[in-house]
Every structure is written in C-alpha cells, then in structure tokens.
Amino acid sequence: MEKQLAAVPLRDMTGLFNELMAALSTLHGLGNLKAGQVDEQELLRQALAELIQHYGMECCSIYLCEEERLVNVATLDWLSCQGGESLSAGRALPAVEESLMWQALRAAEVKIGSAGGSSIAIPLRSGTDVLGVLHLTHPEPGYFGEWQQRLLRLFGVFLGQALTAGRMLRKLDQEVQVKTSHLQYLLEESRHLEQHYRKLSLLDELTGLHNRRYFFSESCLALSLAGRHQHPFTLMVMDLDRFKKVNDTYGHPAGDRVLQAMGRALQKQLRQTDILARVGGEEFAVTLPETDGDGALELAERLLREVRNLRWADIDENLRVSVSLGMVTLHADQFPEDQGTINFSSLFDKLFSRADEGTYLAKGEGGDRAIQVSWPSMP
C-alpha cells in the first residue's frame, strides 16, 4: 500500500484523500441509520441519499428478490435528492441492466456494466443470504474502479444487515404487539369473569335477587347512614305461607317458579334505594331507608296484595300463595347522638331477629298479613 501511494503523483493525493473521506462518511452515515426506528422505505431512502450525497451518483435503485422476481422497492436520483422529494419505486430497467443485476444476485458478487456512463450491481448480503441488489449509475465512464467496488461491496453488506435487522425488529415489535393485545384481552376477560363471579357471589341464583350475604352487608351500611343523618329505618322480613304444600302438590320446579314470581312481584313495588333479597329458602327481606312506621305499613299492604294476586294458569289456575310479613322501624329519635357507641352490625342482627319475630306472629294468626313489632329503645 505504501509503494502504491508513493507512486501516486502529489496532485492526485487530494483526490484519493477526498475518496477516502467520502467512503468513511458514507459508511458512517449508513451505520447511523436507525433500522428499528424507521420503516423500511425510509431506511432505504436514507441509505440511497448517503450514496448520492457523498459520491454524486446519478441514480440509485434497490431491487429485492421476491418469488424469483427482482422488485424495485426504492429509487432516488441526484435531482430528486437535491429537491428533497420522496423516493419512488417501480422503475423499470433496460434488459441489459436487469441481466447485470441477476448476475450479481446469483453470483453474490459485484458486477460492472456500462449504461450511458458507468453502472454497477452490488448484492445486498446478510450473512449467507442475498436479499437483493443495489444498482447504481454514474455519469463518468469507468467510474467504478477497484476502490469503489470494495467500498460498495461493504456498503451492500451494511445495507443488507440493516434491512435484516429492521425486519427482525419490526417482526419482534409486531409479535410484542400481538402478545400485548392478547394479554390485554385475557386481562379484560379476567376482569369480566371476576365481576361475573363477584356478582354471582352476591346474587341468588334462582330468583336473581340479592342474597343474604349482600343483604346484610349493604343493609348495615344503610343503617349506619340512617343513624348518621338521624333518619328513620325500616326492616321487613317475609315468608311464604304453606310453601311446603306447594312443593309437595306441584313439585319443586313449580315451587321454584313461585319463588321467582314472588321476587318479581316484590321488586315491582319497591324503590331503587330499597334493598330486597332472598335470605332463605322461601324467606325474603327488605331494607327500607328513610321509611317510618306509617310508610312501612302502607308498603306492606301493597306487597301482600301483589303476592296475593299472582296467578299460574299453566300450573294450576286455582293456585294461590300469600306471605306472612314482620317489620320493625327504628325512628330518627331512637339513634343516639354519639354514633361511636353503636355497633351497627350487631344492631342490624337484632333488628332482623325482631322483624323475624313479627313474621312468626303473622303466621300464628293464619298468615297473609303484616305484623309491625316495636323497637322501644336502643339496646
């Protein structure tokens, strides 16, 4: 190399130095391309722009091998590069130049042509794979000498690896997106299932009403709010009269339908703020916030009438049912001012037992009636 440089006239040293700087700048620019951060078209445009900027190529094109065909995916010429226009693809080549590219692709070697100046075909390599061909033209005849061929061979390897890296990163990103989307779907399904099973744990499967667990929890909260604001609070407990006879006479499926119909009938008469639940086999309960004794009695009569008027023509048109209802009201002045002294959970249990006593009293008097029991003072 030293002997070769010594033989070069001094006037040509500047040219060699410029060639070397152009080569280094071109490879440096290619090395700085962000394969995973831009799409493939933009990556190719930037790579071709490096060649035109540093070497003054007339036209640069990239052809990729797809199903035994060379497909032009990127083209940039000096004029379009200077004007900042986007790269174009689909450019057709003369047959002789296409033959040159096939030779470069199949031999995996640089091939020189001479189409109106100088042309060269450089295989784009990634490992042992040849992805396609880089085709360049220069207006100067015989431009692509040994030095340029070495540079462009290296450029083809760099660009081939950048293409492969970009495709791998994009594929990986797509796989991550698919897996992330799938994971989000599974998480959403999990949330739906969690909500579904939580709902099931709070609902009575037969009637669709709230169950005992939900009823006691929410009613304790409603009771504490009534105490805090000094509002009346009423609790009703009701039990179907002679329900065993319904099951024995018509069968348990018919009994289930009676319970379902009763649940719907009760629900129809209640407010949105009232809490209705099936708390036992044929036992139902209702919490009535902000309801005093007189209001509770009026509602009780409506509930009794609603159940009494139920009909089941497809079971037996003579079938009639009724309920025994017990209720207790805690009036506003029965809450102490110091809320810290009240155990609302214990208080609600006692209220429930008291209302249940009213239910047994109503049954003892023949059923189909409401008994209002008193709550004289705080325990």
Last residue of some domain: 122, 145, 174?
174
Both 157 and 218 in one domain: the answer is no
**Which residue range is the domain that position 31 belongs to?**
2-174
Per-residue pLDDT at 4 exceeds 80: no
Predicted confidence at residue 10, as pLDDT, reads: 47
Both tokens of residue 328?
């207790």
Q: How many domains does one find in the chain?
A: 2
Summarised one tens digit per residue, pLDDT across range 280-319 is 999 999 999 999 999 999 999 999 999 999 998 888 888 9
For position 310, which CATH number holds? Answer: 3.30.70.270
Claim to verify: residue 216 and residue 118 sit in the same structural domain: no
* pLDDT, tens digit (0-9, with 9 covering 90-100), for 205-221: 899 999 998 899 999 99
Which residue has better confidence, 74 or 21? 74
> In the predicted model, is pLDDT for residue 23 greater than 60?
no
CATH of the domain at 127: 3.30.450.40
The radius of gyration of the chain's CA atoms, rounded to the nearest angstrom, is 44
Name the residue among 127, 277, 270, 255 with its Cα closest to residue 202: 277
- pLDDT surpassing 80 at residue 94: no
Termini Cα distance of the chain: 109
Kindly state whether residue 52 falls inside one of the protein's structural domains: yes
Q: Which two tokens stand for residue 281?
A: 């086999």
Q: What CA dihedral angle connects 17, 20, 22 and 28, to 10 degrees?
A: -140
pLDDT tens digits, residue range 169-191?
778 878 888 888 888 887 887 77
CA distance 2 to 5: 5
**Average pLDDT, rounded, for the chain:** 82
Give per-residue pLDDT as tens, 99-154.
888 888 888 888 888 666 788 888 988 888 888 898 888 888 888 888 778 878 88
Residue 335 lies in a domain: yes
158 and 219 fall within a common domain: no
